Amino acid sequence: MTYEEKVEAFKQRIREGHKVEAGDWMPDEYRKRLIKFIEMHANSEIMGALPERDWILRAPSLHRKLAVTAKIQDEVGHAQLLYRLVEDLGKPREQIFDDLIHGRTKFHNVFHYPTYSWGDVGIIAWLVDGAAVISQGALQRSSYAPYGRTMRRICWEEAFHLKHGEDIVLTAVMGSEKQKRLMQEALERWWEPLMMFHGPPTPPEKDKDLEWGIKTKPNEQLRQEFLSTYVRKIREIGLKIPDPKLRYNESTGRWEYTEPDWDKLYAVVTGHGPASQERLAFRRLSYEETAWVRKAVLGEKAAVA
């Protein structure tokens, strides 16, 4: 059997619903796409800890401080699970982090933005994590079985994050006018990044990650599911969505909305977002300052004077 025939047989097994394990033979393109996809996901988890990190000490109560701390700990743990998958596919951890801190690999668009208020923390944990749960829920059926199994654990924990965020938002909107305004302003800041969250509406037949079964739903379907799930909830608590064109079209069964600037999305995820360089600089500093821990764990010899 030629290589091309083996690739076609592999694709046919995926179309039939078969799952791929780490030790199975896989085409080079499939492995490369898995590494790129899962690595970006892992990068997003570890960089996603940073927008809320500054609010641990500034959270309004001890209860909130502990909840934010626990959430951040979970996100870093998710990154570690995902990085192990990338390592299993053949990319060393050292190279993974070197590529991240020097801007050679991407992380999700929402984590390139600064957090200005406690309202941002609530909107991130409720709506950003809500959008993540929708996309990650679909990844549980990924053709790469280790990824799907890992996603089942991650989604279980993300569901708690979502409830944590929802509680922050509901508490604020039931409070003073100032607290409600805080959430409204945060929603207005985050709506555009949220609408970009699932990526451009790429035709399914042109999405190679769909073709290989790495992901199981097209971008636009995920965005429509997010809108169907959260628009009603946002409106019910008295917040206003900052998109005058947003409406549900009964005849098509789809949400219509203001088309995001996809060029802006590309600029953000390639390191040109409002907080991109600050976040990467922090990760570089953190990586450099903890070098001694890695050396101690790995048992490297100390330099001789």
Domain with residue 11: its CATH number is 1.20.1260.10
Number of domains in the chain: 1
- Could you give the maximum distance between any two Cα atoms of the chain, in Å? 77
pLDDT of residue 302: 52
* Residues of the chain below pLDDT 50: none
pLDDT of residue 78: 96
Domain that holds residue 247: 3-298
pLDDT of residue 297: 85
Contact status, residue 150 vs residue 83, Cβ threshold 8 Å: no
Residue tagged 């996309």 (tokens)? 135
Within 10 Å of residue 61's Cβ, how many Cβ atoms? 8
Q: Does some domain include residue 106?
A: yes
pLDDT of residue 1: 83
Q: Does some domain include residue 304?
A: no
**Taking the mean position of all CA atoms in its chain, how far away is CA 247?**
26
Task: Locate 143 and state its tokens.
Answer: 């053709």
CA distance readout (Å), 288 to 77, 94, 284, 302, 303: 20, 12, 6, 16, 17
pLDDT of residue 296: 87
CB-facing half-sphere around the CA of 86: CA atoms within 13 A: 23
Q: Does some domain include residue 96?
A: yes
Q: Does some domain include residue 303?
A: no
pLDDT of residue 163: 93
Q: Does some domain include residue 182?
A: yes
pLDDT of residue 304: 52
- CA 142-97-83 angle, 5° bins: 30
Q: Does some domain include residue 239?
A: yes
Q: Does some domain include residue 305?
A: no
Supply the pTM of this predicted model: 0.93
Nearest 10 degrees: Cα torsion 88, 92, 94, 97: -60
